Amino acid sequence: MKIGTIGTGFITDWVMSQVLEYHENEYAAVYSRNYETAKKLADKFHVDKIYTDLEAMMSDPMIDCIYVASPNSLHYNHAMMAMKHGKNVIVEKPFASNEKECDEMIEMSKKTGCFLFEAITTVYNPNFLAIKEELKNLGQLKIIECNMSQYSRKYDAFLEGKYPNVFTPKYSGGALMDINIYNLHFVTGLLGMPKVVHYKANIQEGIDTSGVLTLEYDHTIASCVGSKDNIGFNFTQVQAEQGYIISKSASSMTKNVEVFYRNGDHKEIKLQTHQDSHYYYAGEILKMIQNQDRQRCDEMLAHSKMVMHVVDLAKKDAGIVFDADRN
C-alpha cells in the first residue's frame, strides 16, 4: 500500500514505524496544515511528498490508502473524504464520534468499495485471540476487570485552562473515547453486546477525565477503568468458575498473559513476539486488502459499530454530549 497520513502527532510516528515493517507498504505522503510540522515527520521517514492542501493529497493517484490520525471529531469528515476519492482508509481509534457517523462511514465503504478499518490493537492481538479461545476451558465467566490508566501529557494544560483537543467536547475528547476504548474492545470482543451499560465519570468542563464503565451480561459483569487524570496499575483479568486469566498490562497490549486453573494447573500465553501491538493489526489489514477479503473487513466494521453503540449509551448515561452529537 502507498499510504498518506493525516496528523503528525506521536501516534502517527509510532504506528507508521510498525506499518512500514511490512515491506509491501510505502509511506507516500504527509499532510498537515503546517508545512514545518509535516516536514519534520516526512524527513524522519524519508517521505518526498508533503501536502498542506488536503484535497490535493486526496486527489493524488499514487496514494491508495489514507491513515487518519486527526482529532477525534474529524475522523468522520476525513474518512468520508478519502473514500469519496477512492482511497482505502485506516481510522485511528476511536472510529467516530458516535454511531450515526459510524453508520455513514460504513455505508460509504460499501458504496465505494473502499476498505475501511479502525486502527484498534486489542482485537487483533494474538494473545487476545488466545484468551478468547481459552474461555471455553474455564466454565461460566463471571467477572472481567480492565484498568488502563495513563496520566495524559495534556492534562496539566487542561488544568491551566488551555483546553487541548483531547479534553474538549468540540473535538470529541475524554477518557472514554481514548483510554477506555481499548477496554471496551476487549470486553465486547469476548462477549459481544452487553445488556446494560453504565458510565460513572469524573467530569470537568463537560468532559470525562476518568471513569468506570460497567457492562452487564446475563451471567457476567465487566468493569472498565479508564483514566487520563491519574496513574494506576494497568491490568486485564478474566474470572470464571474454573479459573482465571490475567494480563499484567493494559488491554491495548495484552502482554504477560497467564492462566490459572482451579485444579492448580497453570500456563502462560506468549504468542506476541513483537514488542508493539500495532504491528499485528497492520499485518491483518494489509492481508485483507491484498486478498480483497471484504467479508473479514465487514466483520471488523460490525465490531466497531457495536463499540460505537456502547459508547453512545455510556455517554448518555454520564450526560456527556459532544458538538458532533448535535449535528
Calculate what percentage of the chain has a pLDDT beyond 90. 99
What are the C-alpha distances in Å from 220 to residues 143, 241, 247, 254? 6, 11, 19, 20
The residue type of 6 is I
- Asked whether residue 199 is assigned to any structural domain, the reply reads yes
- Asked whether residue 302 is assigned to any structural domain, the reply reads no
Output the average pLDDT for the chain: 97
What is the distance between the alpha carbons of residues 199 and 224, in angstroms, rounded to a whole number? 9
- Asked whether residue 33 is assigned to any structural domain, the reply reads yes
Task: Note the pLDDT tens digit of each residue in 91-130.
Answer: 999 999 999 999 999 999 999 999 999 999 999 999 999 9
Q: Does the pLDDT of residue 78 top 90, yes or no?
A: yes
Shared domain check, 248 and 217: yes
Shared domain check, 107 and 133: no
Residue 55 is part of a domain; what is its CATH number? Answer: 3.40.50.720
- The per-residue pLDDT for 311 is 98
Q: Does the pLDDT of residue 23 top 90, yes or no?
A: yes
Q: Does the pLDDT of residue 318 top 90, yes or no?
A: yes
- Asked whether residue 260 is assigned to any structural domain, the reply reads yes
**212, 92 contact by CB (below 8 A):** no
- The per-residue pLDDT for 206 is 95
- Asked whether residue 66 is assigned to any structural domain, the reply reads yes
Determine the number of helices (DSSP H) and then strands (DSSP E) in the chain: 10, 14
Residue span of the structural domain in which 147 resides: 122-275+307-326
Shared domain check, 65 and 9: yes
- The per-residue pLDDT for 197 is 98
Shared domain check, 140 and 115: no
- Asked whether residue 34 is assigned to any structural domain, the reply reads yes
What is the distance between the alpha carbons of residues 229 and 152, in angstroms, rounded to a whole number? 6
- The per-residue pLDDT for 37 is 95
Shared domain check, 316 and 168: yes
- Asked whether residue 297 is assigned to any structural domain, the reply reads no
- The per-residue pLDDT for 181 is 98
Shared domain check, 136 and 267: yes
Shared domain check, 198 and 129: yes
Q: Does the pLDDT of residue 327 top 90, yes or no?
A: no
- The per-residue pLDDT for 253 is 95
Shared domain check, 314 and 173: yes
Shared domain check, 244 and 207: yes
Shared domain check, 178 and 55: no
Task: Note the pLDDT tens digit of each residue in 250-297.
Answer: 999 999 999 999 999 999 999 999 989 999 999 999 999 999 999 999
Using alpha carbons, select from 21, 23, 29 the residue that is nearest to residue 87: 29
Task: Note the pLDDT tens digit of each residue in 193-236.
Answer: 999 999 999 999 999 999 999 999 999 999 999 999 999 999 99
Shared domain check, 136 and 65: no
- The per-residue pLDDT for 107 is 98
Question: What is the number of domains present in the chain?
Answer: 2
Residue 135 is part of a domain; what is its CATH number? Answer: 3.30.360.10
Concatenated DSSP letters for 54-123?
HHHHHT-TT--EEEE-S-GGGHHHHHHHHHHTT-EEEEESS--SSHHHHHHHHHHHHHH---EEEE-SGG
Q: If you average pLDDT over residues 155-181, what whole number do you get?
A: 96
Shared domain check, 141 and 266: yes
- Asked whether residue 225 is assigned to any structural domain, the reply reads yes
- The per-residue pLDDT for 83 is 98
- The per-residue pLDDT for 319 is 97
